[in-house]
């Protein structure tokens, strides 16, 4: 199931919007004996046992991509952040590519695939990354180049619309946003708030740097690709490349520093508490670590599913308490 929000001004509004949607879903599911979970992959389910969702678009995707599309039993969290002016979109996308491993390592929640431990922090990153228009965004010089690139893909028949550009980060012309698509499915609304706060704070920081005349960092494509793999494999234990000379640092250290750097921005945006959750995740473990801990302590993959359900249900129940009507947000 896909849950979306309306347009929100703050992270708190977005969490409230999601919490209310989850509450409505629970009202439908509980009488049927079903519970909710959210993770990048389901630890046990096999894609071969699933029925294709009805609808023309899904049928066309399977017809075009066959096995690649049929096996996408994955879930992700997408965060849209509004951008003031299309001329800022591409420089910000290029700069955000530096943080693909950070987004993934914090949210990685798919160590299991089809009942087996993959050895990865995020199997979803590999499964979804096999699609021909997925992966890191191309490093483009500006908005005109982006439009020309899309026109070329359309003319070639590679895509039928912008909806089939599944980059890890992409501008979304219809919404006037930058869409960050790197996050695995996230098992608690608190952690969704963290992902939204991190995304909004980074975009806001880069937006103001452009206003002050700064040139934003634009990492080489090989660094972006390598760092994404490192986070896919090692999660929060990855060492990420920080320059074109191959210098590496532990991603945990980089994340602690990033929280300090973004703290003033998050405070202005009203999401400081959500951003601070990064430090808690670094101390207590990301979802892939929590899932493996269940198995390491003698539990089964069924126990992992129960843990994911308990995390989601307990957290989302708290999130719906005392939430007023907000404007909502992507």
Predicted confidence (pLDDT) per residue in 120-178, tens digit: 999 999 999 989 999 999 999 999 999 999 999 999 999 988 889 999 999 999 999 99
Q: Give the integer Cα–Cα distance in Å for 36 and 308.
A: 9
pLDDT tens digits for range 58-87? 777 888 888 788 888 899 999 999 999 999
Q: Which residue has the higher pLDDT, 314 or 328?
A: 314
Q: With cut-offs at 50, 70 and 90, classify the pLDDT of residue 57.
A: confident
Tokens of 165: 């550009």
Say whether pLDDT at 317 is over 80: no
Supply the pLDDT for residue 329. 32
Q: What is the DSSP string of 69-98?
A: HHT--B-EEEEEEE-S-HHHHHHHHHHHGG
- pLDDT (0 to 100) of residue 321: 33
Percentage of the chain surpassing pLDDT 90? 82
Average pLDDT over all residues of the chain: 92
**Whole-number pLDDT of residue 316:** 52
Entry pTM: 0.93
pLDDT at 263 over 70: yes
Q: Give the model confidence (pLDDT) of 1-29 as tens digits.
A: 899 999 999 999 999 999 999 999 999 99
Predicted pLDDT of residue 253: 98
Could you read off the pLDDT of 90-122 as tens digits, one per residue? 999 999 999 999 999 999 999 999 999 999 999
* Assigned token pair, 116: 């087996």
Pairing of strands 134-135, 166-167: parallel
Pairing of strands 177-184, 239-241: unpaired
Cα–Cα distance for residue pair 17/49, rounded to 1 Å: 32
List domains and CATH numbers for the chain: 36-301 (3.30.590.20)
pLDDT at 249 over 90: yes
What crossing angle do the helices spanning 251-269 and 272-284 adopt, rounded to 10°? 160
CA–CA separation, 164 and 142 (whole Å)? 20
């Amino acid at each position: 199931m896909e849950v979306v929000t309306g347009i929100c001004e703050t992270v708190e509004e977005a969490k409230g919007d999601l919490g209310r949607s989850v509450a409505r879903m629970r009202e439908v599911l509980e009488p049927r004996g079903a519970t909710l979970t959210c993770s990048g992959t389901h630890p046990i389910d096999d894609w071969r046992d699933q029925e294709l969702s009805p609808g023309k678009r899904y049928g066309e995707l399977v017809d075009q991509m066959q096995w690649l599309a049929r096996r996408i039993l994955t879930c992700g969290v997408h965060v849209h952040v509004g951008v003031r002016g299309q001329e800022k979109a591409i420089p910000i996308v290029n700069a955000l590519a530096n943080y693909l491993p950070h987004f993934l390592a914090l949210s990685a929640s798919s160590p299991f695939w089809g009942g087996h431990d993959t050895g990865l922090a995020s199997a979803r990153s590999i499964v979804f990354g096999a699609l021909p228009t997925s992966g890191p965004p191309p490093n483009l010089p500006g908005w005109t180049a982006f439009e020309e690139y899309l026109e070329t893909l359309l003319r070639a028949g590679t895509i039928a619309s912008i909806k089939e550009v599944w980059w890890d980060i992409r501008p979304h012309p219809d919404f006037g946003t930058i869409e960050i698509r790197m996050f695995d499915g996230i098992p608690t609304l608190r952690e969704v708030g963290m992902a939204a706060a991190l995304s909004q704070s980074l975009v806001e920081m880069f937006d103001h740097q452009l206003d002050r005349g700064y040139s934003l960092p634009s990492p080489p494509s090989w660094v972006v690709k390598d760092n994404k793999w490192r986070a896919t494999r090692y999660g929060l234990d990855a060492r990420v490349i920080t320059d074109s000379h191959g210098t590496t640092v532990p991603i945990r250290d980089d994340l602690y520093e990033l929280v300090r750097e973004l703290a003033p921005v998050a405070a202005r945006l009203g999401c400081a508490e959500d951003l601070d959750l990064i430090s808690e995740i670094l101390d207590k473990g990301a979802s892939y670590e929590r899932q493996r801990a269940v198995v390491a302590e003698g539990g089964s993959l069924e126990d992992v599913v129960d843990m994911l359900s308990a995390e989601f249900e307990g957290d989302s129940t708290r999130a719906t308490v005392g939430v007023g009507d907000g404007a909502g947000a992507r």
